[in-house]
Structures are given as C-alpha cells and as structure tokens.
Amino acid sequence: MPLMSRRRFGQTCASAALVAGLPRHAQSQNSPILRAGPGTVQLAPDTYPKTSIWGYDGTVPGPLLRARQGERMTQEFRNDLPQASTVHWHGIRIDNGMDGVTGMTQEAVEPGGAFLYDFALPDAGTYWYHPHNRTYEQMARGLYGALVVDEAKDAPVVDLDEVLLLDDWRLTDDAQVADGFGNMHDWSHGGRLGNWITVNGDGAWTRDVPRLSRLRLRLVNTANARIFALETRGFEGWVVALDGMPLEAPQPLATLTLVPGQRADLIVDVIADAGDEAFIVSNERDSGYVIAAFRVTPTDRAARLTPPAALPPNPVPVLGPLETAARAELRMEGGAMGELRGAMMNGQMTGIRDMAAQGKVWAFNGMADMADTPLLKATIGETVRIAMINDTAWPHGMHLHGHHFRQIAADGSLGPLRDTVLMNRGETVEIAFVADNPGDWLLHCHMLEHSAGGMMTWLRVI
C-alpha cells in the first residue's frame, strides 16, 4: 500500500525545506503531569490531512522527560483516553510497584483516572516510556516518549544532544492510523509492520549541523514490530551505550540493528562537507531510505576532536559465578510456518485453531497464556541464567523488566548490558543477570503482537 513516497537514499530532498523541525525540548523542566489522550498531528507531508493519534500531552512523541542520575522522577499520569492504560518506564531498574504492568504491578488506570508514578533513577542513559495495557493498539496509535537520564558526572562533551524516536506507522491512504489491531495475520507473522516511518513524529526529520561538530544521537526503536537496520553517511561515529548502558569502550559505528524497544547512544562527528548532507539511512527490503537528514553548515572548528572516552559506568551489580547460577530454559514456539499444534491455555491443552480463535498463536514452554507460576524464582542477589530457544520461523526481541542482562556467547564471553535482545530464527540466546530487584518481572517479546499473542512470561525475585 504505497501511501506516499519516501526519500530513497541517493535522491535529493526537494521537500526538506518545507518540513519544520520539532521545537527543542526544554532541558529539565518536566511538567509534573503526563496526560494520555487523543490529539491530531501532521504525521504525513502537508498535502495529506492531519492524523488522529493517541499521545502523551497530545503529541507524538510525548514530552521528553529529563532528569539527572540519582534524582527521582515524579509524574502524575492522567488518563483521558477512551481505554484503560498505564505507563511503563522501559529500561529503568525501577521499584516494582512503579513498573506499570497491568494486572501484575498495578491495575490499569480507567478513563478519567490517575496514578502517581514516583521512582528513583539509578542509571544514566536513554530510556523511554509507553503503556503496558493493550500495548499493541496504544503504541500503534502514538503513545510513547523518551526519558533521558543525564550522567551525574563526566557526561561527554558534545555540541548537540538529540533524541531520535523511530516509529513505523500503518496509515491509510488519508493518513489515518489503520485499525485492525487484532489482525491475526500480523500476530502470527512479523507483527504489525507499517508503511510510514517517522523520527520524532516527522517523516522528513532534518537538522542543521556544522561540519566537524560532535553529536550525541540517542536512537530508540518505538515501533510495534519493525526491526530497523540502520547506517549513517557523512558521519564518523561510535556506539557508546546500548539500552541505556555504557559500553566499556566506544565501538566504531558501522551498521546498527535495533529491535523494538532497543536503544543505542551514538557519538558522531560530522565529516560531510559544508553544503552537503549527512544521513541516517534505514535499509529496508527494496531500498535504503533516509529517515533523518542533517544539513551541513560551515564550521569554525579547525580540526576533528579526539575520539570520545567511554561513558561513566552505571552501578549495575557484577555477575556472580555462572557455573552455580540459577538456571531456566525458555522455549519459544508457534507462529506461521511453525510446528506448534497446541498449547496450554486456562489450564487446558488447547489446539492451535482454538488458541488462534482466542488470540493466541505463540507459546512459551508450551503455555500460551501467562502462567500462574513464574518461569523462575530467584532470591535477591542471586545470579540467574536463562537459555531462550527461538524454535519459530521469526525473529523476536526479548525484553526483561527491572534488570539489565548480558548475553553469554558460545565461547563463554559476556556481551554488553542490555534490556532487550534480538533472537533470530532458530537461534538460542542465553542471558545472565543478578536478580537484585525484588518483585514480579515480565520477560516478553517486544514485538507487541507477539507478546499479546502468547510470548509473555514472568520471574519472581524475593
């Protein structure tokens, strides 16, 4: 469904001048109230009508919430939506009662209701917030925003710090959010993929940047299901953090894959010539598309800066010995082209057709709905390892609440701290973390149609 043409990489952008950037957000003036409700925004080019959305404070994305590491975030959530909702603070190692999970850490806030979220911010980095009730619909309609926690000290020196929330909308020909949120074809395949990509709610996001300036770009994949495969042109850069957590050493930037929920912090130097453009390009099936363009202006800087140092580490506990760690296994099954014949639902073995009739098309360890008992019970401070086996024909992005984990590679080496991990078809990924945060925590696929369709389980830390 070609809604409107997007700018292929290599095309020049005739319309860029028409597209106004979003106003810069104030740095630390968070409003204490976060209101979810309907709104209208110009998502598509202005030859199209405005799009009716659901947004925080009526906008897409919602307001940038910003605080310093060690401070608290206090937000009174008010629900002006026609549906019950919650706010989940994705990636924050948060008090369990503030995690925003419907039916687990709180009851959903009914229309007209309110809930006070108040929590500590132990870690610096790039986080985000979104509902955790009918998430596949509420996020597809535009409910999400960024939460940036600035380093308590030793923040990197950059000329510009930009948050880029990447989204993938399914719009109708008159630029409205397509309904069909419960479309079982989407649920059993790759999720709800869209036809219009925006950065910060803008289909042609642009910014002017001086040559040789240094930018910190905070990328967040807020899409329901699209996996972004990104590249940059006209920059030389480094990945300095993933899912909020600093890398021990900056990694030279090449290509970057972000599954839904994942973030990457980049530090990039503008090396394109003045008068040219630098780009972020999304590589899709048919072509590469420009999703963010930076028009390069003359510089008064005489030379390149020296490469950036690592960001200061966050206070995440160090893993205990892996040999004696508590273990669990999670077998992921189902979906189109899978072998699943049936799974447990409501305590009964249910055939795949009856499952699908009740909206479930995936299973974790043979269960299609949330188990009454946790996948694993850990005592506070225990090191835990979970082997996740993707026995499906689809990629997934598995997200753990309340903790960051490391992937254990086949050779036993440990990957960077993350809260969401890509799992390709057929792949087994083993993660390890210190279960230091008491409470009940979800572990689910962040492709929202997959989690709604059965890819959801939980852990208990006591």
Tell whether residue 218 is a contact of Cu ion (CB under 5 A): no
CA distance 98 to 105: 7
Select the residue interacting with ligand C2O from 53, 177, 217, 442 (CB under 6 A): 442
Question: Is position 396 an interface residue for ligand C2O (rule: CB under 6 A)?
Answer: no
Of 161-169, 198-206, 297-305, 438-446, the segment contacting ligand C2O by CB under 6 A is 438-446
Distance CA 425, CA 423 (A): 7
444 touching ligand C2O, by CB under 6 A: yes
Give whichever of 280 and 442 is closer to ligand C2O, judged by the CB atom: 442
- If binding means CB under 6 A, how many residues of this protein chain bind ligand C2O? 10
How far is 84 from 14, CA to CA, in rounded Å? 42
Is residue 100 a contact point for ligand C2O (CB under 6 A)? no
Contacting range for Cu ion; rule: CB under 5 A; set: 19-27, 139-147, 256-264, 450-458:
450-458
List the interface residues with ligand C2O, window 120-179 (CB under 6 A). 130, 132
Of positions 220, 328, 447, 456, contacts Cu ion by CB under 5 A: 447
Task: Work out how close the CB of 92 gets to Cu ion at its nearest, in angstroms, rounded to a whole number.
Answer: 22
Options 26-34, 50-58, 361-369, 439-447: segment touching ligand C2O (CB under 6 A): 439-447
**Which of left, alpha, beta for 450 (phi over 0: left; psi -120 to 50: alpha)?**
alpha
- Residue 459 and residue 376 in contact, taking contact as beta carbons nearer than 8 Å: yes
Q: How far is the CB of 283 from ligand C2O (least distance, A)?
A: 24
Q: How many CB atoms lie under 10 A from the CB of residue 448?
A: 28
**203-232: which residues touch ligand C2O (CB under 6 A)?**
none
Cα 135 to chain centroid distance, Å, stands at 13
Structure tokens at 181: 């949120």
Question: How far apart (Å, rounded) are the C-alpha atoms in residues 55 and 63?
Answer: 10
Question: For the window 250-279, what string marks contact with ligand C2O as x by the rule CB under 6 A?
Answer: -----------x------------------
**Residue 262 CB, nearest approach to Cu ion (Å):** 13
| Distance of alpha carbon 304 from alpha carbon 317, whole angstroms | 36
Residues 162 and 80 sit within 8 Å (Cβ to Cβ): no
- How far CA 286 is from CA of 8, 166, 283, in Å, comes to 10, 19, 8
Q: Which residues contact 353 (CB under 8 A, 6 or more apart)?
A: none
Q: In what order do the strands lie in the sheet with 51-56?
A: 51-56, 33-41, 72-79, 114-120
Candidates 6, 90, 211, 403: give the one binding ligand C2O (CB under 6 A): 90
Is there a contact between 449 and 224 (Cβ–Cβ < 8 Å)?
A: yes
Near ligand C2O by CB under 6 A: residue from 7, 35, 88, 418: 88
Q: Where does this chain bind ligand C2O (CB under 6 A)?
A: 88, 90, 130, 132, 261, 399, 401, 442, 444, 446
Interacting residue ranges for Cu ion, rule: CB under 5 A: 396, 445, 447, 450
